[in-house]
Structure 1
Amino acid sequence: MSLFQGLTFLTTVNDLKALPPDGLEVAFAGRSNAGKSSAINTLANHTRLAYVSKTPGRTQHINYFDFGQLRRLVDLPGYGYAAVPEKIRLHWQGLLGKYLETRPNLIGLVLIMDSRRPLTELDRLMLDFFMPTGKPIHCVLTKADKLNNQEKTQALRTVKKEFADYPHITVQLFSSLKKQGVDEVEQVVGAWFAAAMATEQDEEPMDGE
């Protein structure tokens, strides 16, 4: 069974103090209505694992999903929906920023962006929070089915060019409707977990030390 098809819901939190103390985490972040929940559902081959709302900005908490072996997918709140009250928006922004900047369990970020409108100001803000950590970032350009082949090539080229000087940032196209790009996300995230788990084993003290 593939990594994502074993995914199960674990818990939901609204405060950094309530985050699980153990485990390795890969975070999924994205602008409201960029297709993040649909992408998670497609990867997991589960139509309702992550809630897909017709009202952008509905997901207000950090949702944890479990791969097993203390490996977690962390579904972060969608950002950038103007109709959200200012107090809630500021709470989200603070929560997201602190989580991305300071969470030691976090080993990589999957940034979900609409392939028709990548690298918005808020996407760049999320990158500004996370890039200083030096941890890997995988940009997933969703809704690729809405583009023709020339537009797909251009979208991919534009984002890859933006990060040409950052070898730890990778980019791909994705379509939940056509299940395009599923294997590539699986390979990237699986490799992150494998590398992190190998590092943990290397750092474990030998008996008698």
Structure 2
Amino acid sequence: MSPSVLFRRARFRLAAHELRQLPDDTGAEVAFAGRSNAGKSSALNRICDQVGLARTSKTPGRTQQLVVFDLDGDRRLIDLPGYGYAKVPTSLRDHWRELIDAYLGGRQSLRGVVLIMDSRHPLKDFDRLMLQYCRDIGLPCHVLMTKVDKLSRGDAASTLLATRKEMGLLCPGATIQAFSSLDKIGIDEARRAIYAWLADDASPGEAHTAS
């Protein structure tokens, strides 16, 4: 099955407020993480070629739970809560952080993280923390530098180069690409990166281990 066919099969399964509400920790899943308003939902929709799969909103912080999308069999995509929206109550932000930390550190079926990063504002505090966290637990990370349609071609290229260089210090082995949901830039490249993780033959528990 090709990557595009697999991702077009994505279907909403559930939204979990607690880890215990997630599907059984078997098979393989890939998580999408990013700051609020970085374009995470739009990227997920474009990769899956489904306009309304992940709910998009002009109000940052709309995604407040771990949203599970089934692909086929035991393969899933997980949309993590958008992080960093100031108008969200502190108690809810703290809950999101604890939920994300517990999920990333304890989910054995997790094969990798797709980190959504706004090309106009790369490597914010959350982005750095996520890269360092992936490094520390040995979890693969692929960065989508979104909204490159908002930059000139030269600015997009230089931003990508500078961000890749700094990423190498934060999380050696992490990969990055240019991406635009609006102009359909980097869609196939992103699909191939995610598909490679989902097709990984590593058994649950071997996909990532704490260093």
TM-score normalised to structure 2 length: 0.90
Aligned mate of 2:150, from 140, 146, 149: 146
How far 1:23 sits from its partner (Å)? 2.5
How far 1:48 sits from its partner (Å)? 0.7
Aligned mate of 2:114, from 110, 122, 129: 110
CA contact (8 A) 1:135 1:168 kept: no
CA contact (8 A) 1:175 1:181 kept: yes
Instruction: Give the Cα separation in 2 of the matches to 1:142 and 1:112.
Output: 7
Instruction: Give the Cα separation in 1 of the matches to 2:125 and 2:203.
Output: 35
Say yes or no: does 1:184 pair with 2:189. Answer: yes
How far 1:107 sits from its partner (Å)? 0.7
How far 1:167 sits from its partner (Å)? 4.8
CA contact (8 A) 1:134 1:168 kept: no
166-175 or 84-93, which deviates more: 166-175
Instruction: Give the Cα separation in 2 of the matches to 1:192 and 1:85.
Output: 35
How far 1:92 sits from its partner (Å)? 0.4
CA contact (8 A) 2:7 2:71 kept: yes
Say yes or no: does 1:84 pair with 2:88. Answer: yes
> What aligned pairs does 1:163-174 form with structure 2 within 5 A after superposition?
163-164=167-168, 166-174=171-179
Match of 1:75 in 2: 79
Instruction: Give the Cα separation in 2 of the matches to 1:176 and 1:57.
Output: 19
Moved segments of 4+, more than 6 Å: none
How far 1:99 sits from its partner (Å)? 1.0
After superposition, what is the alpha-carbon deviation per residue over 1:138-161, rounded to whole angstroms, capped at 9, x for unaligned? 000000100001111111101210
SS in 2 for 1:199: coil
SS in 2 for 1:28: strand
How far 1:130 sits from its partner (Å)? 2.6
Match of 1:207 in 2: none
Letter in 2 for 1:174: F
After superposition, what is the alpha-carbon deviation per residue over 1:39-91, rounded to whole angstroms, capped at 9, x for unaligned? 01111111111000111011100000011021100000000000000110100
Letter in 1 for 2:203: E
Say yes or no: does 1:9 pair with 2:27. Answer: no
Instruction: Give the Cα separation in 2 of the matches to 1:167 and 1:90.
Output: 28
Match of 1:64 in 2: 68
Q: Looking at CA atoms only, which structure, 1 or 2, has the larger radius of gyration?
A: 1
Match of 2:58 in 1: 54
Instruction: Give the Cα separation in 1 of the matches to 2:15 and 2:74.
Output: 16
Instruction: Give the Cα separation in 2 of the matches to 1:127 and 1:169.
Output: 8
Instruction: Give the Cα separation in 2 of the matches to 1:164 and 1:34.
Output: 21
Say yes or no: does 1:158 pair with 2:158. Answer: no
CA contact (8 A) 2:34 2:82 kept: yes
Provide closer, same or farther for how the CA distance between residues 121 and 167 of structure 1 changes in structure 2, counting only shifts above 3 A. closer
SS in 2 for 1:164: helix
Say yes or no: does 1:193 pair with 2:198. Answer: yes
Letter in 2 for 1:97: D
CA contact (8 A) 1:30 1:79 kept: yes
CA contact (8 A) 2:135 2:172 kept: no
How far 1:122 sits from its partner (Å)? 1.5
CA contact (8 A) 2:29 2:76 kept: yes
24-33 or 167-176, which deviates more: 167-176
